[in-house]
Structure 1
Amino acid sequence: MRLHPWPLSIAVATVVLAGITAAKAADCPRQDALGTARVLSVDPKIYPRVGLKSFPQTLPLADHEVVLTFDDGPRPPHTQKVLAALAHECVRATFFLVGRSSAESPGLVKRIAAEGHTVAHHTWSHPMSSKISFEHAKKDIDRGIAADEMALRGASTTTPSTPFFRFPYFDSTPATLDFLQSRGIAVFGADLWASDWEDITPEEELKKVTERLEVAKKGIILLHDAQARTAAMMPAFLRYLHHNGYHVVHIVPAVTEKSANTH
């Protein structure tokens, strides 16, 4: 496949597009936008653990389909820049939020949801689960969920409205995995990542993630909206996806009888 070298000079949209509620590119106000190709409902009973870097199974994605996921937010001003880039391309993503950060920036959590993205969970304090006791790990998971829900809905609850979770550093234990599965919460790993936790430039990050995607051809992509380099890279990466035939899939929780009765 011939790659298009999209430069990082493509500007981040300075104004978030208002009223973007449709998932498909055809419904996007900007004709040349990447758009969101389809919505995939994920049932934790069917997909309790996904992401080939950690687990044997991943989401049922076709060739050249990607799921964009962001960890460690919300963190101003980088999260706002990521949201602007996504809005400019009419793309929806999933944000795995750190509860402590959600408590500090509840308005930003609400904005993530209001712009059509999925709010998921990433603990309260970002610990390595294998380095702390099981009881401590459970409390940190639940405190994080409660903080995210408080920021999002104004109610502190350990029952997540979106039962999606990712372990910091992908560092799970058999006990914490079983704990989340027993709660009906899907655990997300990733199929590839941008290595944006490394001390690299936005250009180097773009090169890493696109080269890995050309090998994998599809998958759940891990990024970090808390990183300035990722915020700077996103416009060029989204353009790359568009001009190389990739399609964005937005993941949402499956509607079950239980969840339908709680709304």
Structure 2
Amino acid sequence: MRNVSNGTRSKRHALALLVAITVAPISLITSARAADCPREDALGTSRVLEVDPATYPRVGLKSFPQTLPLQDHEIVLTFDDGPTPGRTDQVLEALAAECVRATFFMVGRNATDHPDMVRKVARLGHTVGYHSWDHPHLNKPSTDEAEANIDRGIAAVDKALHGTASTTPKTLFFRFPYFESTPELLDVLEKRGIAVFGADFWASDWVKMTPEEELKLLTARLEAHRKGIILLHDPQQRTDDMLPAFLRYLREHEYRIVHIVPAAAKVVSDRTH
């Protein structure tokens, strides 16, 4: 592990504050540079970004023309399809070792089966978003049927996390399974004030490969993009095994982690039909 001098850490902290001022139009941004992290040389979380769905209703260049206003060498880590006991635990351990916070887009059925895991993710400071009830192709059924599946997933995750089920989400972040949206569903979610997340690039961790091959693929894409929202899957064992090495790579190459949270004091409407 590399040693980081106090002077270097001070300069990076100052840079994080400067970046926060630069991108402030998205909302209030605060420094979160490992203030409570026991390891001084950890990657840490550089800053927290409050994302307002009114300004950023859909983000991720793989699906949409717009993404989050990240600076060079800033990345957002996101994980889909959990929670899965054991495998999600492994991801959480790797993130905790580097004092990094991420966003987990959870499948409602999995949240119902493992509510303790949902609460663990939130308790450790990560953001919990939604990924439908059972990960279907939401561009196939009618808009009402697809929205019902989305709402069932929202209710299941919030039931596990907060003890009450509602189709009014506590967190305003949703990701379509397979990124398969429709114009009608995008319009519905935008009207409800729910931000839709795509990704800027991914590790293709659904493809059979070794953790070493995944790391090589992901770091090559990272160097090509230099910033962005990264999609990973916590139920994928190859990703769980690869993650500690990837976080070390980020630290050694001076990438910065941005933790996304919903903008404060936003009210989301329930279904209107």
TM norm structure 2: 0.85
Structure 1 residues 244-263: aligned runs within 5 Å: 244-256=253-265, 258=267
1:112 to 110, 114, 121: 121
**1:42 alignment partner in structure 2:** 51
CA distance in 2, matches of 1:152, 1:93: 17
TM norm structure 1: 0.89
Q: Cα 1:136–1:241, aligned 2, differ >3 Å: closer, same or farther?
A: same
Confirm or deny that 1:190 pairs with 2:199. yes
Matched AA of 1:146? A
CA distance in 2, matches of 1:159, 1:147: 11
1:87 to 67, 82, 96: 96
Confirm or deny that 1:165 pairs with 2:178. no
Residue 258 (structure 1) shift: 3.9
Q: Cα 1:257–1:184, aligned 2, differ >3 Å: closer, same or farther?
A: closer
Matched AA of 2:172? P
Matched AA of 1:187? V
**1:19 alignment partner in structure 2:** none
Residue 134 (structure 1) shift: 1.4
Q: Cα 1:126–1:257, aligned 2, differ >3 Å: closer, same or farther?
A: closer
Q: Cα 1:37–1:257, aligned 2, differ >3 Å: closer, same or farther?
A: same
Confirm or deny that 1:228 pairs with 2:244. no
Report if the CA contact (8 A) 1:66-1:247 is conserved: yes
CA distance in 1, matches of 2:125, 2:265: 20
Residue 257 (structure 1) shift: 5.5
Residue 26 (structure 1) shift: 4.2
**2:18 alignment partner in structure 1:** none
Structure 1 residues 17-36: aligned runs within 5 Å: 23-36=32-45
The higher relative CO (CA closer than 8 Å, separation ≥ 6) is in: 1
Q: Cα 1:33–1:161, aligned 2, differ >3 Å: closer, same or farther?
A: same
2:106 to 72, 83, 97: 97
Report if the CA contact (8 A) 1:99-1:124 is conserved: yes
Q: Secondary structure at the match of 2:139?
A: helix
Residue 76 (structure 1) shift: 1.6
Confirm or deny that 1:63 pairs with 2:72. yes
Q: Secondary structure at the match of 2:251?
A: helix
Confirm or deny that 1:218 pairs with 2:227. yes
Runs (4+) off by over 4 Å: none
**1:152 alignment partner in structure 2:** 161
1:121 to 110, 127, 130: 130
Per-residue CA deviations over 1:103-153 (Å, capped at 9, x if unaligned) read: 000000000000000000000010111122212101100000000000000
Matched AA of 1:144? G
Q: Percent identity, aligned pairs only? A: 64
CA distance in 1, matches of 2:247, 2:72: 17
CA distance in 1, matches of 2:266, 2:176: 27
Matched AA of 2:237? A
Structure 1 residues 236-247: aligned runs within 5 Å: 236-247=245-256
Q: CA RMSD in A?
A: 1.3
User: What are structure 2's unaligned runs of at least 5 residues?
Assistant: 3-30, 269-273
Residue 219 (structure 1) shift: 0.1
**2:148 alignment partner in structure 1:** 139
User: What are structure 1's unaligned runs of at least 5 residues?
Assistant: 5-21
The aligned length equals 239
Q: Cα 1:179–1:257, aligned 2, differ >3 Å: closer, same or farther?
A: closer
Matched AA of 1:216? H
Deviates more, 1:42-51 or 1:124-133: 124-133
